[in-house]
Chains A and B, each alone.
Chain A
Amino acid sequence: MTQSRLWTALPEWALYPLFLAPAVYLFAAAFMNALGADPLKALENQLGEWALRLLILGLAVTPLMRLARINLVKYRRAIGLSAFIYVSLHLLVYVWLDQQQNWSAIWQDIVKRPYITIGMTAFLMLAPLAITSNRLSIRKLGAQGWRRLHRLVYVAAILGAVHYLLIVKAWPLEPIVYFGLIVFLLALRLVPARRSPGSRKRDPANASLGASR
């Protein structure tokens, strides 16, 4: 595979400060009351949006390699873990600042409000993926089992986009675009690889996974 060095010039660790900078900014601005009239909603919503953006970026890695020959596999773990950090912060803000640890209200939300039920389900699906995003887990689960487990991200991403669509009034453009992008990136996986079926096993999109170097 030939590709520009540019795509992989950055070490993996360098992506964490890059991806987490928006979170640092959002929390700092929220604490300093600089996020407008309703800092809680601004913080909560924007953390959720960043989670979706990173999930979309993570889902784009495989199609980019297969269809555009851009290999970002090296960064997939950093993308995925950063997405999970945003999902967790989003949930933390909901529990701690939005519902103010009113556990009965939170429970009512989970059982009665589909958008919360769906959001919580997505979080519970992403948690095992974050926990197993390391080389030891790949070894323990085996490449096949690990890969199967991590396909949960497809479902979680769809649920995340539906969660957003269910909280807005009317049909504003942004959540529709997120949903459309996720569906598009998943659909690209149905496009057969540009090579003979016999070489599938050596397809780096499948073989290298998110946690490999």
Chain B
Amino acid sequence: MPSYRYPVPPASEITPRNIFLNRRSFITGGASAIALAASGVNVLAQDQDARKLNAVASALSTDEAQNSYEDITTYNNFYEFGVDKSDPARYANQLTTDPWTIKVGGLVNNPREVGIEELLTGYDLEERVYRLRCVEGWSMVIPWVGISLASLIDKFDVQGSAKYVAFETLERPSEMPGQRAIFPVLPWPYVEGLRMDEAKHPLTILAVGLYGEVLPKQNGAPVRLVVPWKYGFKSIKSIVAINFVEEEPTATWHKQAPREYGFYSNVNPNVDHPRWSQKTERRIGGGLFNQRIDTQMFNGYEEQVGSLYENMDLTKFF
């Protein structure tokens, strides 16, 4: 039987009483909430209290046991900081995430730069507790805070010819040691893409937070994609560009090994990775004797996303 470690926040993470009470009044008193938002609180300030985000719960969240803050922030694949799972937690603190803008362009009539402040204050932040399944065969349950990607796309006058959305991660070798390696492990910058209907699906979010606080740098601060029915590498981190395009965009892992990583990369227990099985997964947090669990079609989101792939041969479009 799986026994998960429940998140026990360290004392430093626990909300101080006055802030806690503030948040209460924030939630109950709509007027004060508006006032606060209008005052443009700098949520990126390093001050611990200011790291808190106010997010409403979502019906799209899973009620499965969540992984601990520690597990989520110390076990990361973010090759810009090194290939070891502990490298991002060790080196990502060098990354400057303020100021930060996303250049939105391509086949759109009103291209512009979107500042991170706009994402944090101009939208209703939601908490989305999602399963995350890595292509390597492990999984977590993560309480993201974010906005639906569709709500951002809707702000743009996208041209009819746009069929896909392309994303790009920051390339800044001075702050990303993995990008300084003599033998680059991946071609930089990291790029990813979604079909337009996938991008606009209600499950797809731009995450700006974790456990009710701004996103830790090792998890892709200040803003990353989360597509919970696809393998984790589709959920591109530290996004600096979003482009609407007509042709299927390239994706970094697909470019690296086209036989092993397709454009879609939907979680699918029936289509193995050429080198290993995808039938089961190990949920992180259960310790040394954790039992494997069966991997679900579309990572358990089949009901919501299955229709996107009707009449598609998923062994071909893997």
Contacts and interface: CB of A to CB of B under 8 A. Distances in A.
Interface of A: 30-31, 33, 36-41, 43, 97, 100, 102, 105, 108-109, 112-115, 166-167, 169-173
Contacts of A169: 135-136, 253, 257
A166 B274 CA distance: 11
A33 B75 contact: no
A41 B75 CA distance: 12
B284 A115 contact: no
Given A39-B287, A115-B276, A170-B256, 18 more contacts: A30-B288, A37-B284, A40-B290, A41-B138, A43-B288, A100-B292, A105-B277, A105-B280, A113-B276, A169-B135, A169-B136, A170-B79, A170-B83, A170-B185, A170-B257, A171-B185, A172-B83, A173-B83
Interface of B: 67, 70-71, 74-75, 79, 83, 85-86, 135-136, 138, 181, 183, 185-186, 253, 256-257, 275-277, 279-280, 282, 284-285, 287-292
Contacts of B289: 97
A105 B70 CA distance: 31
A115 B83 CA distance: 20
A90 B25 CA distance: 55
Contacts, number: 66
A187 B71 CA distance: 44
Nearest to B185: A170
A40 B287 CA distance: 7
Contacts of A114: 275
Contacts of B292: 100, 102
Task: Count chain A CB atoms within 10 A of each CB in B256, B287, B290 and give the residue with the most.
Answer: B287
Contacts of A100: 291-292
B68 to A, nearest CB: 8
30 contacts: A36-B74, A37-B67, A37-B71, A37-B85, A37-B285, A38-B284, A39-B287, A39-B288, A40-B282, A40-B288, A43-B288, A100-B291, A102-B292, A105-B277, A105-B279, A105-B280, A113-B277, A115-B275, A166-B275, A167-B275, A169-B253, A169-B257, A170-B79, A170-B185, A170-B256, A170-B257, A171-B183, A172-B185, A173-B83, A173-B181
B75 A109 contact: no
Contacts of B185: 170-173
A172 B185 CA distance: 6
Given A38-B75, A114-B275, A33 B85 contact: no
Contacts of A37: 67, 70-71, 74-75, 85, 284-285
B277 A38 contact: no
A167 B290 CA distance: 21
A148 B185 CA distance: 39
The 6 closest A-B pairs by CB, nearest first: A37-B75, A37-B71, A172-B83, A170-B185, A39-B288, A37-B284
A112 B274 CA distance: 9
Contacts of B287: 33, 39
Contacts of A97: 288-289
A109 B256 contact: no
A115 B274 CA distance: 11
Task: Count chain A CB atoms within 10 A of each CB in B257, B277, B285, B291 and give the residue with the most.
Answer: B277
Task: Count chain A CB atoms within 10 A of each CB in B138, B257, B276, B291 and give the residue with the most.
Answer: B276
A112 B278 CA distance: 13
A159 B292 CA distance: 28
Contacts of A36: 74-75, 85-86
Task: Count chain B CB atoms within 10 A of each CB in A33, A36, A169 and give the residue with the most.
Answer: A169
Contacts of A43: 288
Nearest to A96: B289
Contacts of B282: 38, 40
Contacts of B275: 113-115, 166-167
B300 to A, nearest CB: 21
A109 B137 CA distance: 14
B118 to A, nearest CB: 33
A170 B256 CA distance: 7
A36 B279 CA distance: 24
A171 B181 CA distance: 12
Contacts of A40: 282, 288, 290
